[in-house]
Amino acid sequence: MREIRSVASFIVLVLATQASIECIAAEKPNVLFIAIDDLNDWVGCLDGHPQSKTPHMDDLAKRGVLFTNAHCQAPICQPSRSSLLTGTYPWSNGVYDIEQEMREAPLLKDAVTIPQHFRKNGYHTIGAGKIYHRGEGDVDAWDEWGIRHGWGWMGKLIGPEGVSGLPEPSIFDFGPIEVPPEEMNDGRVTTWASEQLQKEYDKPFFLAVGLITPHLPLFTPTEFYDQFPLTSTLLPEVRANDLDDLPPMGLKFTRYFDSTPMSHHNITRHGLWTKAVASYLACSTYTDYCVGQLLAALDKSDHANDTIVVLWSDHGFHIGEKMHWEKRSLWEESTRVPLMIVAPDVTKPGGRCSRPVELIDLFPTLTELCDIPAAAAQQGDSLLPLLKDPSHEWNHPAITTQMIGNHSVRTEHWRYIRYANGDEELYDHHKDPHEFENLAEQSEYAAIMQELAAHLPVKEVPSGPRLPKQKYTQEFDWSRP
């Protein structure tokens, strides 16, 4: 009889413990994690372009805190996402380039990513679209994986001549296509993710939605492209002599695409700069349309009041600034990213934070917001103090790395760049937000440069293994002019 009572007591204890765990888990907030590919600051609330039309992202920013000075850790997809997902800097994890696999870098072989960590700590993890750089990433990251589409079907639809007017455009194409919004890659992902938001879960959920637009090619349905007539579309503010004060390494960075259709010379000589700008603006508006659908689905669900919303982009994008296109630079256009967070019972509507923050900060921020243990390898800083008070004191500059030895340091006031060969640039963002005037050669700024240089990594780990040369990347030496 005593054994029966003991067994019964044990069962009751187990059931009570399980109920307690489920109760605690149910109290944790859900997370809607919206990742966008290649979206720079051409978002209305960030004032990156005066003609940006992004009402849904602007509305999201008003709901919580908009970080107006947020920066990526690498201005290219694979190292940026590897850094964000593992909470480690490129110079400490060995993933510097797009032609790498995250798990083949020795220091990231066993690293725990954000979705893995949330799943291990009681969350139901759901993913769709582009979160990891390739495929769905770690198979043990997701309880449910939705869909992810590549661009192959569009190439077949459009044909090799493209729509931009560039000869042999390949992936460097841009312009309108006759495809309904819902049939675009992001439209399909958004529809699937919106359906997941209508479901009930017995655990808190972590839903990651990766939108690939405005990644190249810059295709949008005609209805979005037509919102930006070429006769009135404004080019970004540039100066004809903007490259004159760049050091040799800075000048070399502008030449990465010189042998491709995406070179500044090629686009301008074919008179297509305005069309490229209109196409990028249209892509931003289309992405905003998808974000609006996600937010509408959340708002009408049972999860509207207990879901943290995070929206971020993996890096910026040049549209001819400094006669440069795409990313892979250490200037503002490449490093600055949209970042906005709405956290129920933490953030207040209308928060704007000008402190320099990093994408690497998202991992510790989310673990703290969701009251789960911090991951051991996290190198970022939780943004919780800034979510509570956007003007809170903050002494952490943003560090961006483009291949070994090339880094920028961004504060509220300055951007300092030092290249692998020792070349330097310095920009005063209080007076020169477009980074037109390089102050590095002026002796009165030597002390400021020395102070900023103290934040650069002292040691950089070797690069992990490289993949074979990819179709759309160039042979390029990032270590010397």
- CB-based contacts of 431, cutoff 8 Å, min separation 6: none
Contact call for residues 264 and 320 (beta carbons, < 8 A): yes
**pLDDT tier for residue 336 given thresholds of 50, 70 and 90:** very high
Residue 395, both tokens: 């002494």
Q: What CA–CA distances, in Å, run from 471 to 57, 221, 462?
A: 33, 26, 24
Contact call for residues 400 and 335 (beta carbons, < 8 A): yes
DSSP letter assigned to residue 447: H
Active site residue 77: yes
Percent of all residues in the chain with a pLDDT value above 90, rounded to a whole number: 87
Query: How far, in Å, CA of 42 to CA of 51, rounded?
Result: 8
- Determine how many CB atoms are found less than 10 A away from the CB of residue 389: 13
Angle at 40 between CA 37 and CA 43, to 5 degrees: 110
Contact call for residues 390 and 353 (beta carbons, < 8 A): yes
The pLDDT of residue 26 is 53
pLDDT above 50 (res 13): no
| Closest alpha carbon to 335 in 348, 322, 351, 349 | 322
Q: 300-314: per-residue pLDDT in tens? A: 999 999 999 999 999
Q: 104-157: per-residue pLDDT in tens? A: 999 999 999 999 999 999 999 999 999 999 989 999 999 999 999 877 788 788
Return the residue matching tokens 């979005």.
Answer: 224
Query: Distance of alpha carbon 430 from its chain centroid, rounded?
Result: 25
Residue 196, both tokens: 């997941």
DSSP letter assigned to residue 440: T
From 45, 77, 290, 353, the catalytic residue: 77
The pLDDT of residue 468 is 87
Query: How far, in Å, CA of 262 to CA of 273, rounded?
Result: 10
Q: 213-242: per-residue pLDDT in tens? A: 999 999 999 999 999 999 999 999 999 999
pLDDT above 80 (res 8): no
Q: 42-101: per-residue pLDDT in tens? A: 999 999 999 999 999 999 999 999 999 999 999 999 999 999 999 999 999 999 999 999
Domains and CATH numbers, the chain: 28-398 (3.40.720.10)
Active site residue 133: yes
| Residue 15 burial class via C-beta count within 10 angstroms: exposed 0-12, middle 13-18, buried 19 and up | exposed
Q: 431-446: per-residue pLDDT in tens? A: 999 999 999 999 999 9
Strand partners for 126 = 144, 207
- CB-based contacts of 11, cutoff 8 Å, min separation 6: none
Q: What CA–CA distances, in Å, run from 123 to 102, 111, 131, 373?
A: 24, 18, 17, 13
DSSP H or E stretch at residue 311: strand 307-313
Percent of all residues in the chain with a pLDDT value above 70, rounded to a whole number: 95
| Closest alpha carbon to 250 in 410, 474, 411, 425 | 425
| Closest alpha carbon to 93 in 82, 101, 85 | 82
3-state secondary structure of 282: helix
DSSP letter assigned to residue 127: E
pLDDT above 90 (res 284): yes
Angle at 366 between CA 372 and CA 117, to 5 degrees: 55
From 49, 117, 133, 215, the catalytic residue: 133
Give the mean pLDDT of the chain: 93
* Better pLDDT: 149 or 424: 424
Query: How far, in Å, CA of 230 to CA of 249, rounded?
Result: 35
Q: 346-355: per-residue pLDDT in tens? A: 999 999 999 9
Query: How far, in Å, CA of 184 to CA of 187, rounded?
Result: 5
pLDDT above 80 (res 12): no
